[in-house]
Amino acid sequence: MNIFVLLKRTFDTEEKIVISNGSIVEDGAEFIINPYDEYAVEEAIQIRDSQGGEVTVVSVGGEEAEKQLRTALAMGADKAVLINIEDDIENGDQFTTSKILAEFLQGKEADLILAGNVAIDGGSGQVGPRVADLLDIPYITTITNITVDGTSVKIVRDVEGDSETIEAALPLLVTAQQGLNEPRYPSLPGIMKAKKKPLEELELDDLDLDEDDVEAKTKTIEIFLPPKKEAGKVLEGELDVQVKELVSLLHSEAKVI
């Protein structure tokens, strides 16, 4: 099976976000594989191990994303491709990324493409579905289970906490939800082997794309942090007085009832 995984380099979940001059400060921050993409990598490796074939991880980003690709290789992926847009694109968006990925995947005869359900930084959840659309193949999002049998695929997906079972056929794009699996740690032998696995680097030119072809469809107007959490309020007095006050506050102040 020819399996592709779309992978994004994101801030570590433990990083504090600092904004300076209207943009997020990246200096000294730790970066990881987007956690949802990590599920996708793990699932891809498991499917390959049971069905045979090859797993290629693809990332659109800068030079630095090589580290996350190497990590995926250390986990067990076979090949990696970095589409380096550092020099060509200053402000990309979901359209940019999906257009580039689709262009790359065109003609690759992917049987299965896995992506994260959402990236923990941008959080749009659009790239996977857009890529599928551009490639004109079906997609299923937020999956929590997948069984491949020949060209037919059985999937359980998360629907706002409920689950839905779907049958589909390859080729297919799916996006991974939490609960799909427990991603493995890259083992030390895996890390040593990853050094020798192929990691190809491409630029827009190599995909016959111009900057104009992938120009962002959206514009970021402002970046700001959520408001600081206010201190809580402790109600006092007799219990029934407290309950009444709580109800009235929920109604008048919080405006939730």
- Positions touching another protein (CB under 8 A) are 16, 28, 67, 70-71, 74, 185-192, 194-195
Nearest approach, Cβ of residue 186 and another protein (Å): 5
User: Which residue, chain included where needed, has tokens 């219990």?
Assistant: 239
- Residue 143, CA atoms < 13 Å, CB-side half-sphere: 30
20 forms beta bridges with 23
Q: Which one, 178 or 187, has the nearer CB to another protein?
A: 187
Residue 154 or 185: which CB sits closer to another protein? 185
Q: Name which of 11 and 95 has its Cβ closer to another protein.
A: 11
End-to-end Cα spacing for the chain: 53
Cβ atoms 25, 5 nearer than 8 A: no
Nearer to another protein, 222 or 230 (CB): 230
Contacting residues for 70 by C-beta, under 8 A, at least 6 apart: 80, 194, 195, 199
Closer residue to another protein, CB minimum distance, 27 or 240: 27
How far, in Å, CA of 68 to CA of 57, rounded? 10
Q: Least distance from C-beta 59 to another protein, angstroms?
A: 15
Q: Which is nearer to another protein, 149 or 182 (CB)?
A: 182
Query: If you count them, how many residues does the chain have?
Result: 257
Q: How far is the CB of 189 from another protein (least distance, A)?
A: 5
> Please, are residues 194 and 74 in contact by the beta-carbon 8 Å criterion?
yes
Let me know: does 115 contact 124? Beta carbons within 8 Å. Answer: no
Q: Is 64 helix (H, G, I), strand (E, B) or coil?
A: helix
* Min separation Cβ 61 and another protein, Å: 16
In whole angstroms, how close is the CB of 49 to another protein at the nearest point?
16
Residue 155 Cβ vs another protein, minimum distance, rounded to whole Å: 27
Q: How far apart are CA 89 and CA 97, in angstroms?
A: 11
